[in-house]
Structure 1
Amino acid sequence: MVLKTFGWAFGFTALGLVAAVFYDGWAALGVVAILTVLEVSLSFDNAVINAGILKRMSAFWQKIFLTIGVLIAVFGMRLVFPVFIVAITAKLSPAKAVQLAVDDKDQYQQLVTDAHPSIAAFGGMFLLMIFLAFIFEEREIKWLGWIERPLAKLGQFEMLSVCLALIVLLIASMTVATNAHQHGGEHADKAQTVLTAGLAGLITYLLVGGLSSFFENRLAKEADAQADAQVIPQREPEGEKTPGRSGNGGPSIVAVTGKAAFFMFLYLEVIDASFSFDGVIGAFAITNDIVLMAIGLGIGALYVRSLTVYLVRQGTLDDYVYLEHGAHYAIGALAVILIITIQFQISEIITGLIGVVLIGWSFWSSVRRNRRIAAGNARPSDMV
């Protein structure tokens, strides 16, 4: 199972390390290895979030996620995206941006650093919306009930998450954005840039996430209607289920296909893009060579993708029910960190550790819950 799921990651690792040695000697191998570890440590919570979405998709779209999706993640986000950002923010042609990345690495690094406020605002707002949508949703299983219960009640107010996100963006534009960090320790007023990029992140979330939810809900209604048509007007024997129904009488989980799966796939790609921002920016602390950066971060991204599929196939999120909670709290923390880094520099070690601690805590809470259930000492909330 491990070899089948991680086989491509292992193969690409070997190929990438060999390519790094041929490209710039043995020192490059160490750089690529460090970048790989950086990407995996920063994106483990990304794998958990992706798994929660991917498990609802059909086998075909899961394969698309691992093939075409990997190409987008490795070459698109880790190689093309930084060049694209430089071209837009510096008002250069893509060809000129590529030339800078290859021939003038220091200038290229400076331009990427100067573009960080817009990158952080876009990614921060997108991730913040994911966190707010999760924390304001009423759900049966709660991890930190003393926080989640009152917030779920507040979530009954329509558009609350959007209003809060806009408030955060407005505050950021009037505080950290007015003294944004730039290359060489300089600071500049980037209030308008942060506002524009933040609104773009919010609109992207509403558009892609909304379309995905719309088609998914329509698919669920169609499946529910088909199940209702098959219901026999008699009481079902104990232990049997009507096809298309779950054990509690609600609609069964339907593998998402078609347009719903397509927009869900796009949603996954945007999530991956938002998570990759801090990795790409943090990578410049290790190297400004775009080739080594693409190899190292690309290998890490492939491991994250493989880990996502592994979590789905093993049913890990069903066995350890608080993992999704921990991952979403880590997303909320990352969103806040991205916004703060518009002005202040925060070590990638701190960013990675926060995510690891939150997910580790949620995993241990899940283990304790499972032990209580097995011992027959579970609380009512554990049995939900």
Structure 2
Amino acid sequence: MFKYFRGALWVTVIGLTLAGVIGGSAGLWAAFNLALLETSLSFDNAVVNASILRHWDPVWRKRFLIWGMLIAVFGMRVLFPLVIVAVIAHAPPLPGPMSLWDWYQSGEWPAHDVLSMAIVAPQRYADTLQSAHIEVMAFGGTFLLQVFWHFFLNQNKESHWLRPIERAMQKLGRLEMAGAVMTLLGLLVLADTLPDAEGFRLLIAGVWGLIAYIVVNGLSALMGQEGDTVQMGWAGFLYLEVLDASFSFDGVLGAFALTRNIFLIAIGLGIGAMFVRSFTLMLVEKGTLSELRYLEHGAFWAIGALATIMLLAPVVEVPDAATGGIAAILIVLAAAHSWQANRSDRRRGIGPTGGDGA
């Protein structure tokens, strides 16, 4: 098992060392806690990634685990927040060549781009990013909710963990576009509970999240997807990247509760992302999802819980620890039930069938 986490452990040692150099003991402690937060919040992400990657050939699987992780760490957890603030502040995300030349000549760091804002005015940067909290949560929550509906409304789904609920949801899936309809109804109800301006922001961002899911998921069908498995290739790669981005939104915004230093945030969240990669690789190569038949179900229930919490965030504040705790409880219960079902099958002299749960 150690081989799967060797890379993540090396990144942890290097990252925490850099965190100590940047911020001293306080910086080290902040990065360590951010890494724990990201890992606990994203274990369901690892299970879902593994459920998709196990159907891919080794070439595309390796491409995602290498290039996809670089995009996940530097793109989604460093550059993407800069882009969000750039859109809000109407400023370039990074310093241009002329700004760097001015810095070289004057010895003063340029202050007209978002990266400079994050370095010299971290409180302003954090406040600007937090001002987009409604849009970010609504977009990510809606996207994840569609992933949840896609799994449980699937008419071809044969295995059920929470049988009465999941069978009822599968029957509901006979209604065309049932997931989109329920999501839109939920967005309308939530928007109605907020002041007009905030409700409008939530509704628009949620609709864009729904559109993003339909477009990204539809690309696989357009490129020849068969059945309900996300096809390997660029369409599947894009799907997993947007999925990872949706998972990371709450972690990126919650990170500012621990530190305003974007370098410490990048280190902490990057360490967490590397452990998620290690978990994903281990689940795929050890065939854990086949052995623990309900683990995938537990992960998708955790996605549903996370999506609900993200959509409710403008109305009710839920601590990050509670979010990660709910996901952990669901996954542990699903794994324990899988182990119990496998033991029952062995007693009856049959192999695991992936049959219905209780």
Contact 1:58/1:255, CA 8 A, preserved across alignment: no
Q: Does 1:73 align with 2:72?
A: yes
Once the two structures are superposed, residues 345-369 of structure 1 have per-residue CA deviations (whole angstroms, 9 ceiling, x without a partner) of 2110110101001111111110110
Contact 2:220/2:230, CA 8 A, preserved across alignment: no
Once the two structures are superposed, residues 213-255 of structure 1 have per-residue CA deviations (whole angstroms, 9 ceiling, x without a partner) of 443535x7xxxxxxxxxxxxxxxxxxxxxxxxxxxxxxxx999
Match of 1:343 among 315, 325, 333: 315
Q: Does 1:165 align with 2:165?
A: no
Q: Does 1:52 align with 2:69?
A: no
In the alignment, what sits opposite 1:370?
Answer: 342
Q: Does 1:135 align with 2:152?
A: yes
Post-superposition shift, 1:382? Answer: 5.6
Contact 1:373/1:382, CA 8 A, preserved across alignment: no
Once the two structures are superposed, residues 187-223 of structure 1 have per-residue CA deviations (whole angstroms, 9 ceiling, x without a partner) of xx322222221111111111111112443535x7xxx
CA 1:364 to 1:150, structure 2 compared with 1: closer, same or farther past 3 Å? same
Post-superposition shift, 1:381? Answer: 7.6
Write the letter of the residue equivalent to 1:59. Answer: P
RMSD: 2.2
Once the two structures are superposed, the pairs formed by residues 293-312 of structure 1 within 5 Å of their partners are 293-312=265-284
Counterpart-to-counterpart distance in 2, 1:198 and 1:371: 43
Contact 1:50/1:268, CA 8 A, preserved across alignment: yes
SS in structure 2 of the partner of residue 94 of structure 1? coil
Q: Does 1:272 align with 2:244?
A: yes
Counterpart-to-counterpart distance in 2, 1:308 and 1:288: 30
Post-superposition shift, 1:132? Answer: 1.0
Counterpart-to-counterpart distance in 2, 1:254 and 1:119: 27
Contact 1:211/1:263, CA 8 A, preserved across alignment: yes
Write the letter of the residue equivalent to 2:38. Answer: E
Number of matched residues? 337
Gaps of 5+ in 2: 95-112
Counterpart-to-counterpart distance in 1, 2:290 and 2:352: 18
Counterpart-to-counterpart distance in 2, 1:378 and 1:147: 26
Gaps of 5+ in 1: 180-188, 221-252
SS in structure 1 of the partner of residue 56 of structure 2? coil
Post-superposition shift, 1:64? Answer: 1.0
Relative to the length of structure 2, the TM-score reads 0.89
Counterpart-to-counterpart distance in 2, 1:381 and 1:151: 22
In the alignment, what sits opposite 1:197?
Answer: 205
Contact 1:129/1:162, CA 8 A, preserved across alignment: yes
Counterpart-to-counterpart distance in 2, 1:37 and 1:87: 28
Post-superposition shift, 1:27? Answer: 2.2
Contact 2:230/2:236, CA 8 A, preserved across alignment: no
Contact 1:87/1:93, CA 8 A, preserved across alignment: yes
CA 1:8 to 1:382, structure 2 compared with 1: closer, same or farther past 3 Å? closer
Contact 1:50/1:308, CA 8 A, preserved across alignment: yes
CA 1:213 to 1:354, structure 2 compared with 1: closer, same or farther past 3 Å? farther
In the alignment, what sits opposite 1:262?
Answer: 234
In the alignment, what sits opposite 2:15?
Answer: 16
Contact 1:369/1:378, CA 8 A, preserved across alignment: no
Counterpart-to-counterpart distance in 1, 2:230 and 2:286: 17
Counterpart-to-counterpart distance in 2, 1:377 and 1:288: 58
